[in-house]
Amino acid sequence: MVVGDISTGTDVLIIGAGPGGYVAAIRAGQLDLDVTLVEREAFGGVCLNHGCIPSKALITATGIAHEAANAEEMGIHADPAIDMGGMIEWKDGVVDQLTGGVEKLCKANGVNLIEGTAEFAGNHKARVAHGGQGQGSESIEFEHAIVATGSRPIEIPGFEFDGEHVLSSRHALSLETVPDSLAIVGAGYIGMELAGVFAKAGADVTIVEMLDEALAGYTDDLAAPVVDNMEELGVELHLGEAAQGWNETGDGIEITTEDADGEESTFGAEKALVAVGREPVTDTLNLEAIGLDPDEDGFLATDDHARTELDHVYAVGDVAGEPLLAHKGMKEGRVAAEVIAGEPAALDYQAVPAAVFTEPEIGTVGMTEAEAEEAGFSPVTGQMPFRASGRALTTGHTDGFVRIVAAEEGGFVLGGQIVGPDASELVAELGLAIELGATLEDVAATVHTHPTLSEAVQEAAENALGHAIHTLNR
């Protein structure tokens, strides 16, 4: 049945139901606002359907197989077989559970959900083409709008995604069989995380990265243990080489790369995964109709209330710029909803953590020592190596360290960098310390459970103060 054009109204129209949009919707519902959330594809957005959750599910599953296969030292002799189809089915089940939960929570908070594609049609008006062919459309008048349309993977010339030879991360996270060999273009966090997944699943993985380093943006001492582990897994890293193009061969593809001196190399692989970054989805919103002008990269500039240059339009999540991380979008979504409801909410980016779920993991928050110096502090640091942690030894994972950065004056915690087991979890303690204005003394004086990895955070603080017990003081 074709549904004709109808017209409705709402206090808050939210476009896109990823972590930015659905959090904004639930929070606005909790604050008794009349909210409409439009999603064109799947509730939960990239994060739940094709990003954070699926990648972490496969990282865990392939990690279990790899751990079991390499635990002779612990007296375990196993040779696990990976059934990729079964793994993908399990991952899809996890995704379904979470996306179903998001939908239920939205409804329970009174959010009006619409499946369709929205675009602006005026200052306070949007049009939504309903999902499915011949489903009609609707006009929605709104008081406030929140743009939460997220991002998509960047395509590089010559490597357009076809889902067969050239994959995006989304394709890679749904492969039903493990390719014999996989070329990964891009050694950012997505490329490195997926390199670990496929290497542990049994593929021969080669990474091509234009820059001279992997995990650019992270200091060398954080990236080095990850790169060493990749090499131990047999991953070949071609740094300083740009992927130029590919040709089909009988059993896969041949990729050509070029280094800074113009020297070309070629190598074969069954498939290529391109993970060179993401770009905002703002070009399909008819922004001219509302008078919004994205920057040259397509991002929408916002103030510390998540508000764009228009008083009644907010932008949250990846469309609002770096860092393109789910929890940053969630925070912005919450703030946008609260500001619309008249609450005194504002964004504060001093303690936004970032994690890389490689082996070992990386977790960072706040300032590095160099950033603290640049900001005018006289920083002190303390470090605890995991090889001196009893709990790390019992897990068999002792690479890495916890570093804490604090201001010499007053001892306030300014930042932390962790590389090692569960760094993605441990970094939360340092984020909390920054948020609460805790000092090195506060962290050092907090009794931590023994034996846990979290003791390394306490020891790093003690080390900065010169009285760590389980490591030599500087």
Position 259 contacts ligand FAD (CB under 6 A): no
Position 431 contacts ligand FAD (CB under 6 A): no
Encoding tokens for residue 271? Answer: 């498939």
Position 414 contacts ligand FAD (CB under 6 A): no
In the 3-class helix/strand/coil scheme, how is 349-412 assigned residue by residue? HHHCCEEECCCCEEEEEECCHHHHHHCCCCEEEEEEEHHHCHHHHHHCCCCCEEEEEEECCCCE
Encoding tokens for residue 438? Answer: 């805790």
Encoding tokens for residue 412? Answer: 């306030």
> Are the C-beta atoms of residues 231 and 254 closer than 8 Å to each other?
no
Residues in the chain: 474
Number of residues that bind ligand FAD (CB under 6 A): 38
Phi, psi of 429 (to 5 degrees): -65, -40
> Are the C-beta atoms of residues 440 and 422 closer than 8 Å to each other?
no
Position 318 contacts ligand FAD (CB under 6 A): yes
Position 51 contacts ligand FAD (CB under 6 A): yes
Position 46 contacts ligand FAD (CB under 6 A): yes
**Using CB under 6 A, which of 99, 149, 358, 471 touches ligand FAD?**
149
Position 125 contacts ligand FAD (CB under 6 A): no
**Using CB under 6 A, which of 329, 360, 415, 421 touches ligand FAD?**
329
Nearer to ligand FAD, 327 or 448 (CB): 327
**Using CB under 6 A, which of 327, 412, 442, 470 touches ligand FAD?**
327
Least distance from ligand FAD to the Cβ atom of residue 232, Å: 23
Least distance from ligand FAD to the Cβ atom of residue 370, Å: 24
Position 17 contacts ligand FAD (CB under 6 A): yes
Position 215 contacts ligand FAD (CB under 6 A): no
Least distance from ligand FAD to the Cβ atom of residue 278, Å: 7
Least distance from ligand FAD to the Cβ atom of residue 137, Å: 12
Position 67 contacts ligand FAD (CB under 6 A): no
Position 58 contacts ligand FAD (CB under 6 A): no
Please identify every residue annotated as catalytic.
450
How far lies 466's CA from each of 197, 389, 401, 405, 441, in Å? 40, 18, 17, 14, 11
Q: Are strands 236-239 and 313-315 parallel, antiparallel or unpaired?
A: unpaired
Encoding tokens for residue 376? Answer: 């005018």
Least distance from ligand FAD to the Cβ atom of residue 217, Å: 14
Position 118 contacts ligand FAD (CB under 6 A): yes
How far lies 433's CA from each of 31, 282, 371, 380, 406, in Å? 29, 36, 18, 16, 11
**Using CB under 6 A, which of 13, 28, 190, 287 touches ligand FAD?**
190
Position 150 contacts ligand FAD (CB under 6 A): yes
Where in 330-369 is the site for ligand FAD (CB under 6 A)?
Answer: 357
How far lies 274's CA from each of 190, 339, 386, in Å? 10, 38, 33
**Using CB under 6 A, which of 10, 36, 55, 302 touches ligand FAD?**
55
CA atoms within 13 A on the CB side of 76: 13
Angle of helix 52-69 relative to helix 84-108, nearest 10 degrees, comes to 140
> Are the C-beta atoms of residues 252 and 242 closer than 8 Å to each other?
no
The dihedral over CA atoms of 408, 409, 413, 415, expressed in degrees to the nearest 10, equals -50
Position 169 contacts ligand FAD (CB under 6 A): yes
Tally of CB atoms within 10 A around 327: 17
From the list 63-71, 93-101, 143-151, 295-303, the region that binds ligand FAD by CB under 6 A is 143-151
Position 16 contacts ligand FAD (CB under 6 A): yes
From the list 44-52, 137-145, 218-226, 304-312, the region that binds ligand FAD by CB under 6 A is 44-52
Position 117 contacts ligand FAD (CB under 6 A): yes
Beta bridge partners of 269: 253
Using CB under 6 A, list all residues that contact ligand FAD.
15-21, 38-42, 45-47, 51-52, 55, 117-119, 148-151, 169, 190, 281, 284-285, 317-318, 324-327, 329, 357
